[in-house]
Chains A and B, each alone.
Chain A
Amino acid sequence: MSSANLPSEKFRLGMLLSDTRYRGTSLQVITFIIFVAVFFWLVDNTLKNLALLGKDVSFAFLGMRAGYDINQRLIPYTNDSTHAMAAFVGILNTLLCAFVGCIIATIVGVFVGILRLSKNWIIAKLMSVYIEGFRNVPVLLWIVMVFALLTEFTPAPKAFKGANPEATMFLFDSIAITNRGTYLPAPVWGQGSTFLIIIFLVSVLAVIFFTRYAKELKKNTGKSLPSFWISIGILIVPTVLFYFILGKPVDLNYPYLKGFNFKEGIHLRNSFIALTLALAFYTSAFIAEIVRSGILAISKGQTEAAASLGMKPNKIMSLIILPQALRVIVPPLISNYLNLTKNSSLAIAVGYMDVRGTLGGITLNQTGRELESMLLLMGFYLSVSLFISSIINWFNRSFQIVVR
């Protein structure tokens, strides 16, 4: 019995599992074999099933005529366009919703997050109610609720009619909120507007240079300029000045009522507004928590040390707390942007034609190409997500605290 327990140098088959020198390798080999086997099993099944249904794997359907209309689009598209074009319209719609949603979510989220730390009890409680309310109710429910709010509680276009209308437009008759969507004035680019845009871009450049100069000045002499107000001035004044010098080259095309509907202007459908607002508010609750915890993560000692150096509260915030808090805040913030983008696939609940609605919806149903459509759809979302996570990784690498 005892001799059997002595370690023997001779290799036995059992050592593949019991000896730590070989165990890792053999475990990997086993896993790899199982993985490959399962993969081939799935592929084999798929091929068999496709053969059974008489289908093949081909992406030729992308070049065929789509034959359906998309009511909200950023690029020209008719039902004679191809399926690929429809998918592209959907992608742009997804990105538009995600982009607008992220901006609103960030603004609201930062606002709510800071207010939740307020010393004012009632404000802090209100913000907690906001955060908990949005975080603990499914986003799908919020989307359909906002949609119901927009379609049920807004006036029909015909309510704006007549000498004494039931409903009025906002902001000097420029914005009409109706149950068919919101109508905004559309800009008309007239003669000289290119020049105006160039002026604006130049002032943006000037602001960037000015900020650099202000930073250098501060570094070298310790003098600080009121850089915020000067930047705003540089940004706005030349553009406004040239706007009048050039004779108002950009005009606004106001929406107006004709028949039973509004004409002209930009028409934002309720589906888009509901989806974007609901996603933005939902995500803003998460962003608020991130901002709050980011600010709390910067220890109180930092604030006190800065105060003892004689800094003013707003300087402490902008020079000491925020630069450190941003390091904590930004990565989860970006991953929340990613979540918002992925959640925009819930567009189907309100009938907004995002990429899941076009490529993964109507195209899939019309052509019967489930496998190919889903592959493309997943490929799109995956590439967006990989792109965003590479941004996070880049941020983490470049803003890491350098430990010496």
Chain B
Amino acid sequence: MKNYAYVREKSIPPSPPPLIEVGVIGWIRQNLFSSWFNSFLTLFSLYFIFICLIDFIPWAWGGHWNAKSLRECMDLDPNVACFSVLAARWEQLLFGLYPADQYWRPTLTFVFLILSIIPILFPKFFRYFWFSVIYPGLAIWLLWGGSIWSIAIIYIGVLLGVASFTVLSKGVIRSTSVNLTLSVVITLLFFLFLSSTLTGFLSYLIPISLPFVESLRMGGFTLSLIVGISGIVASFPIGILLALGRQSNLPIIKMICVGFIEFIRGVPLITLLFVASVLLNYFLPPGTNFDIVLRVVIMVTLFSAAYMAEVIRGGLAGLPLGQHEASASLGLTYWQSQRLIIMPQALKISIPGIVNTFIGLFKDTTLVSIISLRDPVGLASTIRADTKWNGIYWELYIAIGLMFFIVCFGMSQYSQYLERKLQTDK
């Protein structure tokens, strides 16, 4: 068998690719200079970036932070930014006209906000969800002040309702609807007759209260967050209900939902805010006059609920019909199948749309400046009206834009993370 002169027994190890095809050089060649046109584009964009930064970096980097007025800034060096306006007015941009000695309250509310959304965002911490539940009441009390019991009484009432429902369900009556009606009646009776006495008694017994701050003093980024967060929290469930109503086969309910959604989506938010500020008094019993911030929150909520409904309807329509039929054939009732089968899947499909609606809502909070509430954009014009800062634009706008960018970009990044996490089909 030794007829062969030479037999290779091992394969030659592959030689390394040429140096210009791998590593940094290879990456640059592939991604930036793969053709003459690409090279041109790369050089052009580099030049563009250069032009943008050559003026911007020295302008921003050398900015003054300690001048007393725009004139002083100009005297120091007219070619750099005057961030002193932020140093002088940052409290206003964040808190509006909130009393200066009470700034710790919005700050604390904000810290609690972050703590309360952690259990919702990251399932690892879900056992702290109780804090997210008490947070809305806590935030309202911290921001507006007054006695803690006037807020706590709402929680007590709701707890009473839930407790009575549980007790009734374990007792003799076996019909859910009767139990529900009874517990609602009990809760209503509590709020009608008992709550005010109890509030007075508790405030007398354990007097915890904060100085009252009226709504018109809320402003700045605090106001944006108040309107934005309450809108987000409230519009989500309303949006789900509207979407279900629109998909439902009960014609009257469907008609009402379609009419509502199409009406709200057909008019700009600004007209709705004008309705809130000008017309709402016409529609309510003579003499009623309720809080402007609350009115704005209601309008913003209704507005984004309609958009939310459309997004969720898209998700519902994306589900195969077999899911409905399968859950029905398992004997699940309408609400059970919605809760256990349909909604989890539909919501998962519509996450990007839902988060986009949230982002849109948060950006739209700037529109309240047009009905003369003091959100950051409104405050920017107030600050510019001051003789000391008259004529300042970019420093303010960049700061405000950056605040919104951070929040909105954060939301969109989280939604992408959530999508990846919930992806089950890959």
CA distance A384 to B409 in the complex (A): 32
Number of A-B contacts (CB under 8 A): 152
Pick the interface stretch among A58-66, A141-149, A223-231.
A141-149
B38, B269, B365: the one contacting A120 at CB < 8 Å is B38
B86 proximal to A (CB < 8 A): no
How far does the Cβ of A112 sit from chain B's closest Cβ, in whole Å? Answer: 13
Contacts of B363 in A (CB 8 A): 136-139
A28, A133, A136, A152: the one contacting B359 at CB < 8 Å is A136
- Classify chain B: how many residues form its interface, as a range: 35 or more
How far does the Cβ of A190 sit from chain B's closest Cβ, in whole Å? Answer: 42
B49 proximal to A (CB < 8 A): yes
The 0/1 profile, CB within 8 Å of A marked 1, for residues 402-413 of chain B is 001100110010
Known pairs A120-B32, A371-B282 / 4 extra A-B pairs, C-beta < 8 Å: A28-B252, A119-B38, A123-B41, A136-B363
A385 lies within 8 A of B265 (CB): yes
A367 proximal to B (CB < 8 A): no
A374 lies within 8 A of B286 (CB): no
How far does the Cβ of B281 sit from chain A's closest Cβ, in whole Å? Answer: 7
A68 proximal to B (CB < 8 A): no
Name which of A138, A140, A349, A360 has the most chain B CB atoms within 10 A of its CB: A138
The 0/1 profile, CB within 8 Å of A marked 1, for residues 252-290 of chain B is 110010000011011111110011001101111110000
How far does the Cβ of A4 sit from chain B's closest Cβ, in whole Å? Answer: 9
B283 lies within 8 A of A42 (CB): yes
B397 lies within 8 A of A31 (CB): no
B401 lies within 8 A of A120 (CB): no
A282 and chain B: residue at smallest CB distance: B363
How far does the Cβ of A142 sit from chain B's closest Cβ, in whole Å? Answer: 8
How far does the Cβ of A155 sit from chain B's closest Cβ, in whole Å? Answer: 17
The 0/1 profile, CB within 8 Å of B marked 1, for residues 149-181 of chain A is 000100000000000000000000000000000
- Which A residues lie at the B interface, using CB under 8 A? 14, 17-18, 24, 27-28, 31-32, 35, 42, 45-46, 48-50, 52, 118-123, 126, 132-133, 135-141, 144-145, 148, 152, 342-343, 345-346, 348-349, 356, 360, 370-371, 374, 377-378, 381-382, 384-386, 389
How far does the Cβ of B65 sit from chain A's closest Cβ, in whole Å? Answer: 22
B175 proximal to A (CB < 8 A): yes
Chain A to chain B contacts (Cβ below 8 Å), 30 pairs: A27-B253, A28-B250, A31-B252, A46-B282, A46-B283, A49-B282, A49-B286, A118-B41, A121-B31, A122-B46, A132-B409, A132-B412, A135-B412, A136-B405, A137-B404, A137-B408, A138-B364, A139-B363, A141-B377, A141-B404, A145-B393, A148-B393, A342-B268, A343-B268, A348-B370, A356-B270, A377-B271, A378-B266, A381-B267, A389-B262
B367 proximal to A (CB < 8 A): yes
CA distance A48 to B283 in the complex (A): 9
B250, B266, B401: the one contacting A141 at CB < 8 Å is B401
A346 lies within 8 A of B177 (CB): no
How far does the Cβ of B168 sit from chain A's closest Cβ, in whole Å? Answer: 16
B397 lies within 8 A of A148 (CB): yes
CA distance A216 to B72 in the complex (A): 73
Contacts of B263 in A (CB 8 A): 382
B400 proximal to A (CB < 8 A): yes
CA distance A265 to B53 in the complex (A): 36
The 0/1 profile, CB within 8 Å of A marked 1, for residues 9-44 of chain B is 000000000000000000000011010001001100
How far does the Cβ of A96 sit from chain B's closest Cβ, in whole Å? Answer: 17
CA distance A141 to B366 in the complex (A): 8
Contacts of A386 in B (CB 8 A): 262, 266
B33 and chain A: residue at smallest CB distance: A120
A119 lies within 8 A of B31 (CB): yes
A32 lies within 8 A of B283 (CB): no
The 4 tightest CB contacts between A and B, nearest first, are A385-B266, A136-B408, A342-B268, A121-B31
A382 lies within 8 A of B42 (CB): no
A374 lies within 8 A of B256 (CB): no
B404 lies within 8 A of A136 (CB): yes
How far does the Cβ of B58 sit from chain A's closest Cβ, in whole Å? Answer: 17
> With A17-B177, A123-B42, A141-B397 as given contacts, are A28 and B267 in contact (CB-CB < 8 Å)?
no
Contacts of A28 in B (CB 8 A): 250-253
CA distance A389 to B266 in the complex (A): 9
Contacts of A31 in B (CB 8 A): 252-253, 256
Contacts of B282 in A (CB 8 A): 45-46, 49-50, 370-371
B49 lies within 8 A of A126 (CB): yes
Contacts of B267 in A (CB 8 A): 342, 378, 381-382, 385
A119 lies within 8 A of B253 (CB): no
CA distance A348 to B270 in the complex (A): 10
B369 proximal to A (CB < 8 A): yes
Contacts of A17 in B (CB 8 A): 177
> With A31-B253, A45-B284, A382-B266 as given contacts, are A349 and B370 in contact (CB-CB < 8 Å)?
yes
CA distance A52 to B251 in the complex (A): 38
CA distance A403 to B320 in the complex (A): 15
B336 proximal to A (CB < 8 A): no
A378 and chain B: residue at smallest CB distance: B267
Contacts of A32 in B (CB 8 A): 252
B176 and chain A: residue at smallest CB distance: A18
Give residues 361-413 of B contacting A (CB, 8 Å): 363-367, 369-370, 377, 380, 393-394, 397, 400-401, 404-405, 408-409, 412
B403 and chain A: residue at smallest CB distance: A137
A124 and chain B: residue at smallest CB distance: B31
B166 proximal to A (CB < 8 A): no
A136 lies within 8 A of B271 (CB): no
B393 lies within 8 A of A152 (CB): yes
B416 proximal to A (CB < 8 A): no
CA distance A303 to B243 in the complex (A): 37
> With A137-B401, A138-B363, A374-B275 as given contacts, are A18 and B370 in contact (CB-CB < 8 Å)?
no
B274 lies within 8 A of A374 (CB): yes
Contacts of A14 in B (CB 8 A): 175
CA distance A255 to B379 in the complex (A): 38
> With A377-B271, A381-B267 as given contacts, are A346 and B397 in contact (CB-CB < 8 Å)?
no
A49 and chain B: residue at smallest CB distance: B282
A370 and chain B: residue at smallest CB distance: B278
> With A45-B284, A136-B408 as given contacts, are A374 and B271 in contact (CB-CB < 8 Å)?
yes
Contacts of B369 in A (CB 8 A): 140
B45 proximal to A (CB < 8 A): yes
A122 lies within 8 A of B397 (CB): no
Contacts of A348 in B (CB 8 A): 270, 370
CA distance A49 to B253 in the complex (A): 30
Contacts of A152 in B (CB 8 A): 393
> With A18-B175, A121-B31, A374-B279 as given contacts, are A381 and B268 in contact (CB-CB < 8 Å)?
yes
A35 and chain B: residue at smallest CB distance: B256
A123 lies within 8 A of B45 (CB): yes
CA distance A122 to B40 in the complex (A): 12
B253 lies within 8 A of A136 (CB): no
CA distance A343 to B250 in the complex (A): 34
B400 lies within 8 A of A141 (CB): yes
A129 and chain B: residue at smallest CB distance: B49
B251, B266, B278, B365: the one contacting A381 at CB < 8 Å is B266
B49 and chain A: residue at smallest CB distance: A126
CA distance A215 to B373 in the complex (A): 59
A122 lies within 8 A of B404 (CB): no
B377 lies within 8 A of A144 (CB): yes
